[in-house]
């Protein structure tokens, strides 16, 4: 259940019998012709759909993450690593004070990996809690479904082009040579923009909705299995 649809009494009632909760992590950054909010939209949606039959509360996706390499693309937002880690720490502290002890972090942005290290450190200081860090799109079953569909799934290409991340202005299907992302990561933001041009890392920009929904169902099921295992 979305926390947006709950009041504080409902949280208190939930934690009397269950201490599971989901915290989605996203980012606001360029995604080529897709929404700037792709990572936040997808992390929250997969979390909500995974939790729905179990009733587990789902917090809104944290909309800002770590995306310094996209700062030459207008609209992209980044936090400093130190700021981000302390922000996630404060949120985890608050969740514990609310009575949650099993926290599933559903991450939607590869740049947010420092939060995974922070989760380990936080458990060192909070041994009565458990945190799982779940990169939903590259979890084993979901990534296998992506690779079986098209091995060139990557940033801002077909792999993130769902009906709910697409815009009226999103270009039709096209194919772009893959960029050297290892080299891109050695460039400052302006040079990264020159290299990426439209922002995509390459590959096809779109695949059929049937293919995308099949991958999505795997992602939802795999995410739910982490809650079931608790």
pLDDT tens digits for range 131-171: 999 999 999 999 999 999 999 999 999 999 999 999 999 99
Tokens of 229: 């295992």
pLDDT value of residue 89: 98
pTM, two decimal places:
0.97
CATH number of the domain bearing residue 194: 3.40.50.10310
The torsion of the CA quartet 188, 189, 195, 200, rounded to 10 degrees, works out to 140
Determine the Cα–Cα distance for residues 130 and 101; give it in Å rounded to an integer: 6
Q: Roughly how many angstroms between the first and final C-alpha of the chain, as a whole number?
A: 17
**Owning domain of residue 94:** 3-228
Cα 164 to Cα 15: distance, rounded to the nearest angstrom: 32
Average pLDDT value for the chain? 97
Number of domains forming the structure of the chain = 1
* Residue 68 dihedral angles phi and psi, to the nearest 5°: -65, -30
């Amino acid at each position: 259940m979305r926390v947006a649809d709950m009041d504080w009494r409902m949280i208190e009632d939930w934690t009397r019998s269950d201490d599971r909760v989901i915290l989605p992590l996203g980012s606001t950054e360029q995604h080529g012709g897709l929404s700037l909010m792709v990572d936040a939209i997808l992390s929250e949606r997969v979390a909500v759909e995974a939790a729905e039959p179990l009733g587990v509360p789902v917090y809104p996706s944290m909309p800002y993450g770590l995306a310094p390499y996209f700062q030459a693309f207008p609209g992209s937002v980044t936090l400093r690593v130190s700021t981000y880690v302390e922000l996630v720490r404060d949120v985890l502290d608050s969740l514990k004070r609310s009575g949650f002890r099993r926290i599933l972090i559903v991450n939607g942005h590869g740049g947010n990996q420092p939060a995974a290290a922070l989760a380990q450190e936080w458990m060192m200081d909070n041994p009565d809690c458990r945190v799982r860090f779940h990169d939903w799109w590259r979890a084993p079953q979901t990534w296998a479904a992506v690779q079986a569909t098209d091995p060139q799934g990557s940033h801002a290409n077909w792999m993130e082009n769902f009906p709910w991340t697409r815009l009226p202005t999103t270009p039709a299907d096209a194919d772009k040579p893959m960029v050297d992302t290892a080299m891109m990561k050695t460039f400052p933001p302006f040079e990264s923009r020159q290299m990426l041009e439209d922002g995509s890392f390459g590959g096809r920009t779109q695949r059929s909705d049937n293919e995308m929904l099949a991958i999505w169902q795997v992602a939802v099921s795999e995410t739910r299995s982490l809650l079931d295992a608790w």
